[in-house]
Amino acid sequence: MSVKSEPITINLGPQHPSTHGVFRMRVTFDGETIIDVEPIFGYLHRGSEKLAEERTYTQVVTLTDRMDYVSSMLNNQGYILALEELANIDPKPRGVWLRMIASELQRIASHLVAIGFLIQDLGAWGTPLTYSMREREKILQMFEMLCGARITNSYLRPGGVFMDAPLQFWESLNAFIEDFPSKVEELENLLTSNEIIFSRTKGVAVLTAEQAINASITGPILRSTGVDWDLRKTDPYDYYDQVEFDIPTHTAGDNYSRYLLRVQEMRESLRIVKQCVEKIEPGPVRPHHDEVPNLVRPPKGDCYTAIEGSKGELGFYLVSDGSISPYRWHVRSSSLINLTLLKDMLVGTLFGDLFVTFGSIDINMGEVDR
């Protein structure tokens, strides 16, 4: 017996806790089946790209922190690399190794947030999220040792980093390197072979490689469709060409693949951190003021530099007019671009799949709206 129903449109957000920030969706349902989705954002717009024009190049670092505040160190890295290219700054080796360590720890912390909240959206009622936050807390404590801040770090500087790492940081880092693999395994024992997660994520919100490429989607979402693309390998920056690591890929392109890929990437990031610790040598962590003054003044010109952020390609376009502030500053936000196929992912799925799929994209609204 079929029951006749009429489509109904519901507003979800911008205050809904499962929208991962001030994001709004107008979703049209036929029963429980999604037949249309209209993403609406702009509620968190802070004008970061315009504010950069009134700040010195070093002060702009603080603006990058507030975009994807779950990946501050990676934001710092992308911007500083662009500035170094624009101003022809040669970074100090110890500073480069330190920022690689910080960036890969940040990638792990970001993926822990993505996994924990994805499972929370699925209805796990807190246990996997608590496990994820427990490990993230160890990383935030190490960040506090590095620069005195836990989330909006502002740690990187032109030519290296703000300050050298204290002894207690290395002790905590070595303990984390030894302990973290067992914690990832503990998390996987709870989740990876869980039948509830299988049934709720496998074959749900499938993207093909062609769809992802055509939409300029990058990062874990692209690699979950089978495309082996990671800027740390395809266009190496800093010293990534001096460390060994693998790029996990899957071909299913569904919610489960996006979860599993991030778990595997955490292991590879830890592998990178371990090699950085082995290779780093004593020395200055940034150039002397005689080499790079506090008020950096790049020559007239422009540049675009991109890194492999935790959510995909994070790019910074800088234009210099020869002054101490950027003439223009534009960010290629992976969070924004990864949202472009949200409708394609959701139409045809059920209401219960909506927030799980949204969580699998792993966006940060501070980076979407900028």
Residues in the chain: 370
Q: 95 lies in a domain?
A: yes
The verdict on residue 217 lying in a domain is yes
User: If DSSP states are collapsed to H, E and C, what string results for 247-285?
Assistant: CCCCCCCCHHHHHHHHHHHHHHHHHHHHHHHHHCCCCCC
Q: Is residue 309 assigned to a domain?
A: yes
Q: What are phi and psi of 16, to 5 degrees?
A: -70, 130
Nearest to 149 by CA among 160, 157, 159, 141: 141
Tell me the residue range of the domain where 183 lies: 45-341
Does residue 175 belong to any structural domain of this protein?
yes
CATH of the domain at 150: 1.10.645.10
Q: What does each C-alpha distance from 86 to 89, 95, 101 come to in angstroms?
A: 8, 18, 24
- Tally of domains within the chain: 1
Question: In angstroms, rounded to a whole number, what is the distance separating the alpha carbons of residues 40 and 21?
Answer: 12
The pTM (predicted TM-score) of the whole model is 0.94
Query: Is 288 strand, coil or helix?
Result: coil
Question: Mind listing the pLDDT tens digit for each residue in 45-100?
Answer: 888 999 999 999 999 999 999 999 999 999 999 999 999 999 999 999 999 999 99
pLDDT at 1 over 60: no
* pLDDT of res. 114: 93
Whether the upstream peptide bond of residue 299 has omega within 30° of 0, thus cis, is no
| 365 is a domain residue | no
DSSP notation for 83-119: HHHHHT----HHHHHHHHHHHHHHHHHHHHHHHHHHH
pLDDT band at residue 176 using 50, 70 and 90 as cut-offs: very high
Task: State the chain's mean pLDDT as an integer.
Answer: 93
Q: Where are the beta strands (DSSP E) in 281-355?
A: 301-308, 313-320, 328-332
> Is 160 contained in some domain?
yes
Report if residue 267 sits inside a domain: yes
Q: For residue 349, tell me if it sits in a domain.
A: no
Q: What is the pLDDT of residues 2-52, one digit of tens each?
A: 666 789 999 987 877 777 778 899 999 998 999 999 998 888 888 899 999
Of 282, 228, 224, the residue nearest 92 (C-alpha) = 282
